[in-house]
């Protein structure tokens, strides 16, 4: 579909959407709702459904054939190609985060950054890869993503990207042979404007060094070089340099004035050659000769053709093989199908016919999510798959809220059409508030996240928006058609919690809070005791190397070999989803090459093959820790302001305390598990912690909404009694939603592969702790805060409730 067609399709959907809410006719609304749903499904399917393309096959050289019969041309073979862009962790490839270093007396301006981007782009193009991504990050960094590089090309890319290639031409002092010995003997000073440099050379097969007195500043800079190319003659490999017109004139003038003298050719401050000027060199060309290998000369030619004048440092490197990416995709599919199956079975058994409506809405939700991913060219990463799986659990929550309201309306004796109207109208406020708070944390995660985790925040944001649409419009439309066309008179649902149950949660609040304080203290103590052992390379810097190995290779064997070279890294063995054994090695910075080379030499029969490599500098790790703290702080601030605006400050205090309670205990329990299993906090865990914060506040908002309704409905009893009643009324929904989310994430834990195992574990802990805090912590804190501040919650003006919405 072209951009024009997509635009008009979107415009038509927008018109139908507003018409749906503007019309008063129930029949017209049903039709518009159906048309709207079908249009969005069709557009979404077109946006992500794999397109049919001709399968590309390699062709060999044309060889003449002798045949007595005519040959029928073969039919083209077709294959399906996904329209959703895959991240490097799914398709395989390497990403580099490059930082431009500051030179004394020189600022890295936007012009310098843009020039560096173009230089790096030209260097990457030399590898012949398709669709590399080279983008500036901030004011002094460049992100380079190169799909489909093998291990040898990755090493070449690493060298090419960080090679500065600062080319300079400097005159050698005409009396250098006499002055150098005198200067070293202390009998003569270094002439002003000169300095001593050493040139390394080889003569008669023996390395020799020559000290030269050269100009301190360049006589001609490398920016005047327009081209560098590989040459070969009787002297061996060399590099031909072509100057720009201005550079050729400058070089000609320089050589004309200094015939008989020498000039040094320096690359990155190192003298490559120091030829004598026998005659003026005009024409704009010169050559560098030396004792180069073919590869050295080719690399030199590449960087000279694209000179990068600013020193750079590779701060972060992440690579994954296509095999590992395929394994990740399979694990994501298995986890998604497993989570979906568990949720579908439970919802269908518990809510019966209404559950089937929720399942259909969930399917539409997933279609819309994938459609938006394809339409807007969002990149799907491995954490993004986790976001989709998490969305499966969260998407059902809106339907659960509606169904629990529907149960109450039917219990009150209302006819089914009126009960549907009342359930959707009353559920809208809590669905709106709960999902906005989740969007706040997801948006902050998107703002501060980097790399694959940003993909997680995108799928979470899109999934939350799609879930609200499918619950309020798609699900409602199914019920409306059932009532009008099929005479649907009601639905039957199981009831987990009896209406007569009245647990005194607040009466034992001191016990619950005491238990939480004890667990929080234990969590903080464990985290503090482990110290740096809590953090993986994403936070403290270092190398991660993942090697595929034969099944009989053990962690002990690998550890014993690495101890021989003085290394004691963290080593874990794990199974791939599609089979195969992997050795995961976390080590100190810049040790991955040494480790891999030693293991390949010392254990040649182990079947080692590199599948993933990560390198994170200490500066990047420190920034990640700082940005994670800022993101969490901004999330807390945003939630505090929103809950205050929609409820009251006492409610905001309770929500923030519950949120901090959940985050502290989750991280603490993860640290306890890590002490036993070797798990560490990583980049993906930042997303997990913010997700837990969003889930925690989502759960709490549901309870708050019912408390607010009870306070403003004139219900008899004390504030504590009203709060208790509200918690009991939402208990069924809380347990059902938590169970569904837990099951979907449990599928991710068991089938999602090693990369997402830690993420899933943290979410599982967070779901349990978040459910506990929404029942036992948030409301007692609201009660305590209101009493301490002297606020009578019953006297508050009705605040934050949205008007009834006839969806």
The pLDDT of residue 60: 38
The pLDDT of residue 807: 47
The average pLDDT across 169-179 equals: 91
The pLDDT of residue 19: 93
Q: 628 pLDDT exceeds 90?
A: no
The pLDDT of residue 715: 74
Q: 391 pLDDT exceeds 90?
A: no
Mode of pairing for the β-strands spanning 85-86 and 379-380:
parallel
Q: Provide CB contacts within 8 A for 239, sequence distance 6+.
A: 228, 229, 230, 231, 287, 288, 292, 297, 300, 301, 304
Q: Provide CB contacts within 8 A for 474, sequence distance 6+.
A: 33, 37, 360, 361, 364
Q: Tokens 């972060």 label which residue? A: 316
Q: 217 pLDDT exceeds 80?
A: yes
The pLDDT of residue 305: 62
Alpha-carbon span 531 to 680, nearest angstrom:
11
Helix (H) or strand (E) holding 209: strand 206-215
Which residue in 246, 226, 211, 237 sits closest to 167, CA to CA?
226
The pLDDT of residue 54: 60
Q: Mean pLDDT check: name the lowest of 103-112, 223-232, 624-633.
A: 103-112
Q: 803 pLDDT exceeds 60?
A: no
The pLDDT of residue 103: 64
Report residue 613's pLDDT band, with 50, 70 and 90 as the boundaries.
Answer: confident
Q: Which tops the pLDDT comparison, 712 or 640?
A: 640
- Give the whole-number percent of the chain exceeding pLDDT 90: 22
**Predicted confidence (pLDDT) per residue in 244-271, tens digit:** 889 899 999 998 999 989 988 887 678 8
The pLDDT of residue 298: 73
Give the tokens for residue 42. Answer: 């069709």
Mode of pairing for the β-strands spanning 194-203 and 270-273:
unpaired
The pLDDT of residue 303: 59
The pLDDT of residue 80: 61
The average pLDDT across 190-198 equals: 92
The pLDDT of residue 793: 60
Report residue 393's pLDDT band, with 50, 70 and 90 as the boundaries.
Answer: confident
Q: What is the mean pLDDT of the chain?
A: 82
Alpha-carbon span 381 to 176, nearest angstrom:
60
Q: 600 pLDDT exceeds 80?
A: yes
Q: Which tops the pLDDT comparison, 727 or 102?
A: 727
The pLDDT of residue 277: 86
Q: 669 pLDDT exceeds 90?
A: yes
Q: 418 pLDDT exceeds 90?
A: yes
The pLDDT of residue 691: 77
**Predicted confidence (pLDDT) per residue in 52-78, tens digit:** 666 554 433 333 333 334 445 556 665
The average pLDDT across 524-550 equals: 87
The pLDDT of residue 224: 84
The average pLDDT across 207-216 equals: 89
Alpha-helical segments (H) within 23-136: 26-48, 88-91, 110-125
The average pLDDT across 357-378 equals: 89
Alpha-carbon span 202 to 660, nearest angstrom:
66
Q: 88 pLDDT exceeds 90?
A: no
Q: 39 pLDDT exceeds 90?
A: yes
Report CA-CA distances (Å) from 277 to 172, 214, 256, 280, 633.
Answer: 11, 15, 8, 7, 65
The average pLDDT across 652-672 equals: 92
Q: 430 pLDDT exceeds 90?
A: no
Query: With contact defined as beta carbons under 8 Å apart, do 170 and 196 qualify?
Result: no
Strand partners, 168: 221, 266
The average pLDDT across 437-450 equals: 78
The pLDDT of residue 79: 62
The average pLDDT across 105-114 equals: 70
Query: With contact defined as beta carbons under 8 Å apart, do 807 and 424 qualify?
Result: yes
**Predicted confidence (pLDDT) per residue in 262-316, tens digit:** 988 887 678 877 888 888 888 888 877 766 777 767 766 765 665 666 777 888 8
């Amino acid at each position: 579909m072209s951009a024009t067609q997509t635009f008009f399709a979107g415009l038509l959907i927008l018109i139908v959407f507003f018409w749906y809410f503007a019309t008063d006719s129930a029949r017209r609304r049903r039709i518009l709702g159906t048309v709207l749903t079908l249009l969005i499904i069709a557009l979404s399917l077109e946006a992500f459904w794999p397109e049919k393309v001709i399968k590309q096959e390699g062709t060999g050289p044309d060889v003449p054939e002798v045949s007595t019969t005519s040959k029928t041309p073969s039919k083209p073979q077709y294959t399906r190609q996904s329209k959703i862009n895959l991240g490097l962790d799914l398709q395989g490839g390497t990403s580099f985060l490059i930082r431009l270093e500051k030179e004394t007396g020189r600022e890295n301006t936007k012009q310098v950054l843009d020039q560096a981007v173009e230089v790096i782009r030209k260097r990457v193009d030399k590898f012949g890869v398709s669709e590399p991504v080279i983008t500036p990050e901030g004011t002094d960094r460049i992100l380079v993503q190169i799909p489909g590089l093998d291990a040898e090309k990755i090493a070449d890319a690493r060298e090419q990207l960080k090679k500065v290639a600062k080319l300079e031409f400097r005159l050698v002092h005409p009396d250098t042979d006499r002055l150098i010995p005198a200067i070293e003997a202390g009998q003569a000073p270094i002439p002003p404007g000169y300095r001593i440099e050493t040139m390394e050379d080889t003569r008669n097969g023996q390395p020799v060094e020559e000290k030269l007195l050269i100009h301190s500043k360049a006589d001609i800079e490398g920016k005047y070089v327009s081209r560098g190319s590989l040459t070969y003659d009787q002297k061996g490999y060399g590099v031909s340099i072509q100057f720009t017109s201005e550079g050729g004139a400058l070089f000609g003038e320089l050589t004309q004035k200094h015939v008989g003298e020498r000039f040094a050719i320096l690359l990155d401050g190192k003298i490559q050659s120091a030829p004598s000027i026998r005659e003026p060199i005009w024409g704009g060309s010169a050559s560098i000769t030396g004792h180069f290998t073919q590869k050295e000369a080719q690399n030199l030619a590449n960087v000279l053709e694209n000179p990068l004048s600013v020193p750079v440092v590779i701060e972060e490197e992440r690579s994954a093989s296509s095999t590992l990416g395929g394994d990740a995709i399979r694990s994501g599919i298995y986890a998604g199908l497993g989570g979906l199956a568990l949720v579908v079975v439970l919802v269908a058994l518990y809510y019966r016919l209404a559950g089937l409506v929720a399942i259909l809405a969930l399917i539409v939700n997933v279609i819309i999510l994938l459609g938006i991913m394809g339409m807007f060219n969002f990149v799907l990463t491995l954490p993004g798959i986790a976001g989709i799986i998490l969305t499966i659990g969260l998407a059902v929550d809106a339907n659960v809220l509606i169904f629990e309201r529907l149960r109450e309306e039917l219990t009150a004796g209302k006819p089914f059409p009126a009960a549907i109207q009342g359930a959707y109208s009353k559920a809208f406020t809590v669905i709106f508030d709960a999902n906005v708070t989740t969007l706040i944390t997801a948006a902050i995660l998107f703002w501060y996240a980097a790399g694959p985790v940003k993909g997680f925040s995108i799928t979470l944001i899109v999934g939350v928006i799609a879930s609200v649409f499918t619950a309020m419009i798609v699900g409602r439309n199914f019920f409306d058609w059932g009532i009008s066309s099929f005479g649907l008179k009601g639905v039957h649902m199981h009831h987990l919690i009896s209406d007569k149950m009245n647990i005194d949660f607040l009466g034992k609040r001191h016990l619950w809070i005491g238990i939480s304080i004890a667990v929080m203290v234990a969590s903080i103590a464990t985290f503090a005791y482990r110290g740096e052992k809590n953090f993986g390379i994403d936070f403290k810097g270092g190398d991660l190397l993942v090697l595929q190995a034969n099944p009989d290779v053990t962690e002990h064997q690998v550890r014993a070999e690495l101890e021989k070279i003085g290394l004691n890294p963290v080593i874990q063995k794990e199974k791939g989803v599609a089979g195969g054994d992997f050795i995961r090695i976390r080590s100190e910075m810049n040790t991955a090459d040494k480790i891999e080379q030693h293991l390949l030499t010392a254990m040649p029969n182990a079947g080692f093959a590199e599948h993933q490599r990560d390198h994170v500098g200490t500066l990047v790790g420190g920034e990640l820790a700082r940005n994670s703290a800022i993101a969490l702080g901004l999330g807390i601030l945003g939630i505090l302001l929103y809950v205050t605006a929609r409820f009251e400050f006492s409610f905001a205090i309770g929500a923030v305390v519950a949120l901090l309670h959940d985050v502290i205990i989750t991280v603490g329990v993860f640290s306890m598990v890590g002490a036993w299993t070797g798990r560490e906090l990583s980049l993906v865990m930042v997303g997990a912690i913010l997700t837990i914060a969003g889930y925690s506040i989502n759960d709490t908002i549901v309870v708050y909404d019912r408390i607010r309704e009870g306070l403003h409905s004139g219900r008899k009893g004390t504030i504590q009694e009203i709060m208790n009643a509200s918690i009991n009324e939402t208990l069924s929904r809380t347990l059902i939603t938590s169970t569904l989310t837990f099951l979907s994430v449990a599928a991710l834990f068991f089938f999602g592969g090693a990369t997402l195992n830690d993420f899933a574990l943290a979410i599982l802990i967070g779901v349990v702790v978040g459910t506990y805090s929404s029942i036992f912590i948030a409301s007692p804190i609201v009660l305590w805060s209101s009493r301490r501040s002297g606020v009578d919650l019953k006297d508050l003006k009705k605040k934050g409730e949205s008007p009834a919405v006839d969806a």
